Structure 1
Amino acid sequence: MTSTKFGSCEIKDVHIVEDSRPLILFEQFGFAPNGHVDISTKQVTWKSKHQNAKLNISSMGFFLVRDESYPHILNESSYTDGFCVLSSMHVKIVFRFNNLAPDSTFNTSVSIEEPDEYNLVFGNCQTEFQVSMKVHTEMYNIDDEGRPDFLPAGQTSLPRLYFSFFLAYAVKLAIWSFICLKRRLTVHKIHLIMAALLLFKALKMICASEDKMYIRKTGTPHGWDVAFYIFGFLKGVTLFTVIILIGTGWSFLKPYLQEREKGVLMFVIPLQVLENIASVVISETGPVKKAWFTWNEMFLLIDVLCCCIILFPIFWSIGSLKEASRTDGKAAKNLEKLTLFKQFYIVVIAYLYFTRVVVSAIGANINYRYHWVSVAAAEGASLVFYLFIFYNFQPVEKNPYLAVDDHVAEDATVHQSLEIEDPLD
């Protein structure tokens, strides 16, 4: 359910083809003291649809800019005639195109004297011209041993952080496997799916750790990003499936799924496939591509849809239990289950809100050197959420969730067409 923002690497090769955008964002990077930006360009060409257009070649080039400088640049452009962002006092020029070699190539390395989080941007102040070029960028800091560290400042501790969460999930998987083997008579199919969820989550965390470790040392993930995407996709599908199945009471309250509940599963799983594709495109291409922002918006939209859809089965189960508690003569038992389902509903809502809103707020408001804090908050919330689910839905005979009650199942079928009341009443 949590999403970890991954860049494919901090050494990038990008091919720009006939692009006339005034600003092209290449990368954002947190620099420590003595950080470096290396850029090389080749095969630089430009053309205009207007035959009489004259190019001022110094109006194109690369620069570094802080996030907080954008409002100042916008204000500066409002009162400066013929404003060009490359001439702004709020940007640090890397190089302009008037410094290109005769063969349309250029190589430069810039040291960062004022450590901060910077955006590497290509500026084109004559948008009537379309630019094509191949660009190679390297952004890195220097560690205590004098070696390049390709992770931004604030992310250097992520390999250890992810590995710690891998160990936590591996231990949880071992404990869960032991519990299931010891209590095999009370194990349902849902418990096996929950074990798969722990496995995929643990594998995702170890792949994330290796991915960040290799990027830190070499600037590229050495294929670990592919494994991360695969296990991340499997974890996402399995987690949504577990929440939906628990929310419907499948294997706990009733041994079957109704048509509408099957429909929810069949709708969410394809959405998770699309979300995974969007996540890969966002991570691998970066903001330099024209369609990047569209894919980013699609990712957010699909994520919101999935989060909303998984709540409906919980509504339905709460409604069915309310009806059953009033009619079948087992009010105390059903009310106990109803209370637990309400707790489950509240915890799911709290988890979604924290990981989607609170974590984003933390990331937006803390210094770039503490980016790891937002990652720790997101993954810590996921771990707590998993512990809640696995504790309350473990295979225990007297657990109020776990006894399949045929009478409740029949009553749920009878009342499936009734109007469902507010689940939080």
Structure 2
Amino acid sequence: MKAQWLVLALFCFLSNWHRVHASDLILDDDDRKTIQVATFGFLSGGFFHLQLDHFKLSHPEDSGRIAFYIRKGRRMLDDDSDGRSDPNEQGPENEDAPLQACFLDNSYIENEVEDGTAVIQELKQGETSLVWNTTVDIKDEGVWQILLISCSESTMSGHIHIDQVNPNNNHLSAGDTPLPVVYAVSALSYGAVAAYWTWLLFRRDAQVFRAHWLMLVLVCCVLVYKALQSAKYYYKMIGILTEGWRIGFYIFASLKGLLSILIIVLLASGWMFIKPFLSVKDKRIISVVIPLQVVANIASAIGNEAAVGSTDYSFWNMIPPLIDLAACGVVLWTILQTRKHLSTAGSAAEGKERNIVNGYKLWSSFYVITLVYIYVTRVLVQLLQASLPFRYVSWLGEAVSEMATLSFYIFIGYKFRPYPNNPYTQVPSDDLDLELENGIGTSRAVDEDTLRMTVSRSAKADKDND
């Protein structure tokens, strides 16, 4: 059992790594024809510094053209393994123009250069290093993509370093600039929630469970995590990248992930509240999808730490969201099936049994809010980031996600707050929990015999207490 917790803790530690916008790209016998090196939102007066070192071809005598292609626009070029360009990128005036063997020879590339929406910096044959500095004018504000194009049959090796800076020595992309404030406000909000929750726990009439203390620890970890996240982006904005912040950042990120998963598992499995109404099959499904989500987070972390132009960047950043959505769908399906059976049992029950079932049916609102939370954080945020102007593309999506997460935590805290006679915390005795876990809990439906057993045990417990 201890080994399982250690593995879960390790997964949670790895699942909360976040990108520090890696700017160095290492090429090692790379055979791709189109490599996306960087994407950055430039404001008027911003500039970038590109430096290429130790560049070499597998066949130095190859005369194929090689160049850095800097273009303005939100759309990316296709950078799959064969390096072919996307025909849709030709532009409306060149829809019928045939694609050339060398991407740089296409007519729409020349048109982009003439219109000022693209710049090409070619490497001379035999050149092993390059230093390139460019300042962005006000008419050129927007998201700029830097790509390395190869029309050579040789593989490429080298080291590419890019330093991208906006006005006022701001090293963050235009859409990331407000992130320090967003995370700082989020940290202050969690601080207020933690203070209020602590006050609730120490009230005289409070009915406190272990879950309530876990929730307090979770909120405190999120508070510190968001504060460190704000500090990280602030220091990156002023051009200071220090390893010292990563230690505390990753520690509290891992604690946040561990406690979040634990609380979700406890609530979903009913360890404290609805255990009699989840079958063994349901728990097995949850025990599969939770690690599946952790694996998706680990894959996302690997993608975030990878350089934009690395060979595995696209894979690690495209697959995890699909796994995450699939896992969320399975969990929601299981929860909705439980609600369906609770509703059936409630309509068939009478008297005190029905009151007990009605108490458990209060979970319906919790499930609906969970569904809304997953939709907002997994779908709506992605739609916002795909449609917003470049100045808002990142921070506004993060702000919406932070508000949704905070609202979700507040909702859980409100429903499970430690006050007497809270219907969410009216659970059977421990011996009934064990019996239902081993026997009755394996049944999908909640029949009247189970309800009568619940009433009988509850009445017996009340009599013993008297």
Q: TM-score, normalised by structure 2?
A: 0.77
Q: Which moved more, 1:280-289 or 1:77-86?
A: 77-86
Q: How much is the aligned-residue C-alpha RMSD, in angstroms?
A: 3.3
> What is the letter of the counterpart of residue 73 of structure 1?
Q
5+ residue gaps, structure 2, are: 1-11, 78-87, 448-466
**From 85, 98, 102, the counterpart of 2:124:** 98
**From 391, 398, 402, the counterpart of 1:379:** 402
> What is the letter of the counterpart of residue 43 of structure 2?
A
**From 74, 90, 113, the counterpart of 1:67:** 74
CA distance in 2, matches of 1:185, 1:117: 53
Matched residue, 2:261: 240
**From 5, 27, 50, the counterpart of 1:39:** 50
User: How many equivalent residue pairs?
Assistant: 408
Structure 1 residues 236, 5: closer, same or farther in 2, change over 3 A?
Answer: closer
Contact conserved, 1:65 with 1:121, CA < 8 A, in 2? no
Matched residue, 2:215: 194
CA distance in 2, matches of 1:289, 1:223: 26
**From 141, 155, 163, the counterpart of 1:130:** 155
5+ residue gaps, structure 1, are: none
Matches within 5 A, 1:225-374: 225=246, 227-254=248-275, 259-260=280-281, 263-264=284-285, 266-311=287-332, 314-315=335-336, 317-319=338-340, 321-322=342-343, 324-325=345-346, 326-327=348-349, 329-371=351-393, 372-374=395-397
> What is the letter of the counterpart of residue 280 of structure 1?
A
Structure 1 residues 324, 405: closer, same or farther in 2, change over 3 A?
Answer: farther
Q: Which moved more, 1:237-246 or 1:20-29?
A: 237-246
Q: What secondary structure sits across from 2:35 in the alignment? A: strand
Matches within 5 A, 1:121-200: 121-126=147-152, 128-143=153-168, 148-182=169-203, 186-200=207-221
Identity of aligned residues (%): 26
CA distance in 2, matches of 1:352, 1:405: 30
**From 118, 125, 130, the counterpart of 2:144:** 118
Contact conserved, 1:14 with 1:134, CA < 8 A, in 2? yes
Q: What secondary structure sits across from 2:418 in the alignment? A: coil
Contact conserved, 1:173 with 1:198, CA < 8 A, in 2? yes
Structure 1 residues 181, 228: closer, same or farther in 2, change over 3 A?
Answer: same
Q: Give the drift of 1:261.
A: 5.7
Cα distance per residue 1:322-366 (max 9 Å; x no partner): 465334742542353344211111111111011111111111111
**From 55, 63, 66, the counterpart of 1:55:** 63
Structure 1 residues 386, 100: closer, same or farther in 2, change over 3 A?
Answer: farther
CA distance in 1, matches of 2:258, 2:334: 16
Q: Give the drift of 1:396.
A: 1.5
CA distance in 2, matches of 1:226, 1:73: 46
Q: What secondary structure sits across from 2:444 in the alignment? A: coil
**From 100, 104, 127, the counterpart of 1:82:** 100
Contact conserved, 1:40 with 1:105, CA < 8 A, in 2? yes
* 2:45 is aligned with 1:22: no
CA distance in 1, matches of 2:48, 2:424: 57
